[in-house]
Amino acid sequence: MGTKKYLENSTANESVSKYKLLSAYGGPGSLVHTQYGSIIISCIEEWGFLKKVLELHVECLNDPDVNEENIQREVSKQSRKEKNGNIGISNDSRLLAELVKNKKLTSLKYLALIPDIEIVTHNNKIKNGVEFSIASSYMPKVFADNNNNYKPYSKWYMEWVERKDVESKKIDPYGKFFHPPKYDHNKGKEKEWIRDLKQDNIILLCEHGHISDFPWSKFLRWRKEEPKAIYEEVPVNIFENQDCCNNPNIKITSNTGNTSGFDGKFIRCINAGCIGNKGISLKGLMGVKIKCPGHKPWEGTTGDIQYHSGDKHFRKQEPPIEPCKCEDAKGKLKPMKVSLTTGNNIYYSRILSSIFLHSELFESDTAIEIMRLEEKKKILRSDDDTVHLAPAIVAKIKELKAGRSEEEPESMTDSESEMVFRFNEFKAFHKNEGLLNLDTKHLKTKEVTQNLDLVTSDYFERVLRIDNMKITSAQRDFSRVLPIDADAENTKPKNIFRSPKDQVVVYPVVESFGEGIFFSFNPDKIDTFLENNKLIDEMKLQLTSLQKGANDFNKGAIDFANVMNWQMYLVHSFSHLIMRELEFRCGYPTASLSERIYVSNAEKHKMYGCLIYTAEGAEGSMGGLIAQTRPQNLNNLIKSAINRATICNSDPLCWESEGQGLFDLNFASCFSCSLVSETSCEHRNLYLDRKILVDEKCGFFKDLL
Per-residue pLDDT tens over the stretch 387-437: 677 788 778 777 766 665 444 455 677 778 889 899 999 999 999 898 899
Say what the alpha-carbon torsion angle 595, 596, 601, 604 is, to the nearest 10 degrees.
Answer: -160
Q: How confident is the model at residue 9 (pLDDT cuts 50, 70, 90)?
A: very low
Answer with the residue of higher pLDDT: 585 or 295. 295
Three-state DSSP at 278 gives coil
Q: What is the mean pLDDT of residues 64-88?
A: 88
pLDDT score of 133: 80
In 3D space, the residue among 516, 569, 560 whose CA is nearest the CA of residue 680 turns out to be 516
**Count of C-beta atoms within a 10 Å radius of residue 318:** 9
pLDDT score of 588: 73
Q: How many whole angstroms separate alpha carbon 511 and alpha carbon 113?
A: 7
Per-residue pLDDT tens over the stretch 118-137: 665 545 565 555 577 888 88
Partners of 610 in the β-ladder: 519, 597
* Three-state secondary structure readout of 500-559: CHHHCCEEEEEEEEEEEEEEEECHHHHHHHHCCCHHHHHHHHHHHHHHHCCCCCCHHHHH
Partners of 594 in the β-ladder: 613
Per-residue pLDDT tens over the stretch 639-659: 999 999 999 999 999 999 999
pLDDT > 90 fraction of the chain, expressed in percent and rounded: 50
Q: How many whole angstroms separate alpha carbon 548 and alpha carbon 574?
A: 28
Three-state DSSP at 321 gives strand
Q: How many whole angstroms separate alpha carbon 114 and alpha carbon 511?
A: 9
**Range scoring the smallest mean pLDDT among 553-562, 617-626, 636-645:** 617-626
**Count of C-beta atoms within a 10 Å radius of residue 646:** 18
Q: How many whole angstroms separate alpha carbon 553 and alpha carbon 559?
A: 12
Domain boundaries, the chain: 48-133, 142-340, 365-403, 414-477+508-704
